[in-house]
Amino acid sequence: MDTWAQAQGQGRPAPPNIPGAFTFIPKADLEAAMGPTRGDRPARVVMPAAGRTWASTSYANLGALHTALRTMKNTVPVSAFYHTEISELYYVIRGSGTALLGGELQNAAWDDSNSDAIRQVRGPSVNGTMKNYQMVKWTAGDTIIVPAGVPHAWDRK
């Protein structure tokens, strides 16, 4: 086992989640916060995860990525994941769907630490079957912030 795998807990069970809460900011809230000036005013100030500080470098990473979600069919049980060191901010440009957020993962297992996606983009991640999640409808203009350790999955129609 390589050093990367050892550092990420390979070979031992993964926790079902890491405490934290997601943030959902509807388009209407953003428009109200920005007002007519569209100035540089925050709609929310969000720490990466509850109980963690900005100085805690392993949890202060916020991933800003371009992604295109394909049409997905509902599956039960829901397969989901979380990242242990990367928080994510999603600003929806177009489309609509449902985000499945929070809860915990059953049969949580570490993703392959040797994959390019883990080493170059997502960082250490855990996957499993999602339970006790919240369903949040999203549409163009909405923002969703998912801190490291919070399970998430997407359903897009």
Q: How far apart are CA 98 and CA 152, in angstroms?
A: 11
pLDDT in tens, 26-83: 888 777 766 665 444 555 555 555 554 434 444 456 655 546 666 666 677 888 989 8
Let me know if domain 3-37+56-156 sits in CATH 2.60.120: yes
C-alpha 152/C-alpha 146 separation (Å) is 8
Tens-place pLDDT, residues 115-146 = 877 776 677 899 999 999 999 999 888 888 88
d(CA 122, CA 124): 7
Task: Give residue limits of the domains in the chain.
Answer: 3-37+56-156
Residue, of 148 and 116, whose pLDDT is higher: 148
Q: Please state the φ and ψ torsions of residue 6, each to the nearest 5 degrees.
A: -65, -40
